[in-house]
């Protein structure tokens, strides 16, 4: 009994040491350009393999993996409180953490240290005046595109064919500017409605990328005005852009030139809202004035979004907003409530294109 306890103790120390060594090793890798480049190339290989395999499964395998892993982890945590199983449970938890951390880092985590997109764009000041000009531009674009989409009986935007939106996103990935991205498009549709859609609606999470299966998960309960751009955003993660605001920008590039009116409208509307959110604390009067200029159709969509948010407010929303904020900051990103990096990318890109 004493021998077994001693063995378990040393095993725990060993796996705890391995986990610490992983933290240090991947931190060093994140500072080395050739190492980051290696993981970028590795991602290009694994994303296609994963998408080929998991896209054939008709449900979100990644969500099932999370559920099973969560059950297993809870089981071991419960055993931590039992004297007879405490040591073995701690040992198994350390092994699980090591495995998941290693897989996460080689498949995804190191992509947060790629060359930022902003380094590929010319410098320009995202001044208030420039943002106002863009806000008015995208207001007019959204008003025009809104007239081309379908409505339900209440006059609210609805999507008739979600599959065509998904296929258009994959097609538009091939048309991204070469100086922005040289990543390879797999052309594989691996969008999956999340198994956690009911919970997601109360967390403020619109979608997420599963780095273990390369699936792009989305909340199927979202208002139609959110959904196409959410898919474009998550597809940008599938494409290899880890940072949230960069995925927004790639989603913008995917959607803004699209010939699919549903994707185009959702992208233009998201861009407009982001611009107004970046302006509101500097010129609230301008934002209020712009909101009054929404078309009647856009006003109905806005009310529908507000209704959705109001119906799903709660402690889960606050908690997940807080934890997501911490996660973003831990991965060299701005917090979840910040729009400035996406707006900075947008302004630089638009002013470069206009010159």
- Read off the pLDDT of residues 114-159 as tens digits, 9 standing for 90 and up: 999 999 999 999 999 999 999 999 999 999 999 999 999 999 999 9
240: which residues sit within 8 A by CB, 6+ positions away? 40, 43, 44, 47, 111, 114, 183
Asked if 71 contacts 81 with a C-beta cutoff of 8 angstroms, the reply is no
**CA-to-CA dists, residue 245 to 112, 156, 200, 339, 350, angstroms:** 11, 28, 20, 8, 16
* Burial of 235 per CB tally in 10 Å (0-12, 13-18, 19+): buried
SS (H, E, C) 243-270: CHHHHHHHHHHHHHCCCCHHHHHHHHHH
Q: Are strands 215-218 and 207-210 parallel, antiparallel or unpaired?
A: antiparallel
Confidence band (pLDDT; 50, 70, 90) for 4?
Answer: low
Question: How does the average pLDDT of the chain come out, rounded?
Answer: 88
Residue 105: alpha-carbon gap to chain centroid: 17
Instruction: Please provide residue 209's backbone torsions phi and psi, each rounded to the nearest 5 degrees.
Output: -105, 135
Greatest C-alpha distance within the chain: 77
At 286 the pLDDT is: 96
CA–CA gap between residue 101 and residue 62 (Å, rounded): 16
**CA-to-CA dists, residue 160 to 149, 163, 179, 261, 294, angstroms:** 9, 9, 34, 11, 23
Cα–Cα–Cα angle for 267, 273, 277, rounded to 5 degrees: 145
Asked if 295 contacts 143 with a C-beta cutoff of 8 angstroms, the reply is yes
Asked if 258 contacts 192 with a C-beta cutoff of 8 angstroms, the reply is no
- pLDDT digit string (tens) for 8-52? 667 788 889 999 999 999 999 999 999 999 999 999 999 999 999
Instruction: Please provide residue 218's backbone torsions phi and psi, each rounded to the nearest 5 degrees.
Output: -140, 155
Which string of b and e fits 252-283 if b means at least 16 CB within 10 Å?
A: bbbbbebebbbbbbbbbbbbbbbbbebbeeee
Residue 80 predicted with pLDDT over 90: no
CA–CA gap between residue 100 and residue 161 (Å, rounded): 36
CA–CA gap between residue 333 and residue 330 (Å, rounded): 7
At 329 the pLDDT is: 40
Token duo for residue 100: 């998941």
Domains in the chain: boundaries: 2-113, 117-354
- pLDDT digit string (tens) for 157-178? 999 999 999 999 999 999 999 9
Residue 273 predicted with pLDDT over 70: yes
CA–CA gap between residue 209 and residue 326 (Å, rounded): 17
- Lowest mean pLDDT: which of 67-81, 188-202, 248-262, 307-321? 307-321
Confidence band (pLDDT; 50, 70, 90) for 88?
Answer: confident
Residue 249 predicted with pLDDT over 90: yes
Which H helix or E strand runs over 215? strand 215-218
């Amino acid at each position: 009994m004493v021998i077994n306890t001693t063995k378990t103790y040393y095993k725990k120390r060993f796996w705890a040491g391995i986990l610490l060594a992983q933290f240090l090793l991947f931190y060093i890798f994140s500072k080395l350009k050739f190492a980051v480049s290696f993981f970028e190339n590795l991602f290009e290989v694994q994303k296609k393999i994963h998408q080929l395999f998991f896209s054939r499964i008709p449900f979100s395998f990644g969500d099932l993996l999370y559920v099973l892993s969560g059950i297993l982890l809870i089981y071991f945590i419960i055993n931590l409180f039992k004297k007879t199983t405490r040591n073995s449970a701690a040992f198994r938890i350390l092994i699980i953490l090591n495995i998941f951390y290693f897989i996460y880092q080689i498949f995804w985590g190191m992509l947060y240290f790629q060359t930022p997109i902003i380094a590929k764009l010319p410098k320009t000041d995202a001044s208030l005046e420039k943002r106002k000009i863009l806000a008015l531009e995208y207001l007019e674009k959204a008003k025009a595109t809104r007239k081309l989409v379908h409505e339900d009986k209440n006059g609210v935007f609805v999507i008739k064919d979600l599959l065509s939106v998904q296929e258009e996103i994959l097609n538009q990935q091939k048309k991204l500017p070469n100086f922005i991205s040289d990543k390879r498009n797999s052309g594989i549709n691996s969008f999956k409605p999340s198994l956690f859609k009911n919970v997601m609606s109360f967390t403020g999470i619109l979608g997420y990328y599963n780095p273990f299966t390369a699936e792009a998960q989305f909340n199927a309960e979202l208002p139609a005005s959110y959904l196409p751009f959410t898919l474009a955003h998550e597809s940008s993660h599938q494409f290899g852009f880890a940072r949230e605001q960069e995925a927004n920008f790639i989603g913008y590039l995917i959607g803004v030139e699209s010939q699919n009116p549903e994707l185009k409208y959702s992208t233009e509307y998201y861009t407009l809202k982001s611009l107004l959110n970046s302006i509101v604390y500097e010129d609230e009067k301008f934002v209020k004035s712009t909101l009054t200029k929404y078309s009647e159709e856009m006003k109905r969509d806005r009310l529908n979004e507000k209704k959705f948010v109001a119906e799903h407010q709660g402690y889960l929303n606050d908690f997940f907003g807080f934890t997501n904020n911490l996660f973003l900051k831990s991965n060299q990103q701005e917090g979840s409530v910040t729009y400035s990096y996406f707006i900075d990318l947008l302004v630089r890109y638009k002013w470069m294109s206009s010159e």
